[in-house]
Amino acid sequence: MHKYLKVNTSSTHSNLSHNSGNRIRFYAGFALRDRNGVALGSFCVLDRQPNQMTDDDMSLLKGLAADLMNTLSDENVKRKKCEEIQQLNDSSS
């Protein structure tokens, strides 16, 4: 999961310049692919303003995307994370 797309100003990028109705000006994301390499989507951040991400920001985004794919592809991990989320929700009520 090393491929990413980062666009600081969408008006200058051909893939996003047509999104003027949504007013997306900034996009940074990593492709999510299954074990067979099939594209499932992307894990990304968007903004209505032009923006920048540091190398540390991109590293964190990459790690979160990798964690998501690990969770989705492993039933034991998925179950454990769902239980953790439920505990957090229960404790905040």
Q: What is the pLDDT of residues 45-77, one digit of tens each?
A: 999 888 999 999 999 999 999 999 999 999 999
Q: What is the pLDDT of residues 8-46, one digit of tens each?
A: 765 555 555 555 566 788 899 999 998 888 989 999 999
CA-CA distance, 65 to 58, in Å (whole number)? 10
Question: Can you give the residue range of the structural domain that contains 64?
Answer: 4-92
pTM given for the model:
0.73
Alpha-carbon distances of 65 from 14, 60, 90, rounded to whole Å: 24, 9, 26
**What pLDDT sits at residue 12?**
56
**What pLDDT sits at residue 18?**
58
CATH code at position 85: 3.30.450.40
Both tokens of 3, joined, read: 């491929």
Q: What is the DSSP letter of 51?
A: -
Mean pLDDT of 74-89: 94
- How many structural domains are present in the chain? 1
Q: Are strands 39-47 and 26-33 parallel, antiparallel or unpaired?
A: antiparallel
**H/E element, 43:** strand 39-47
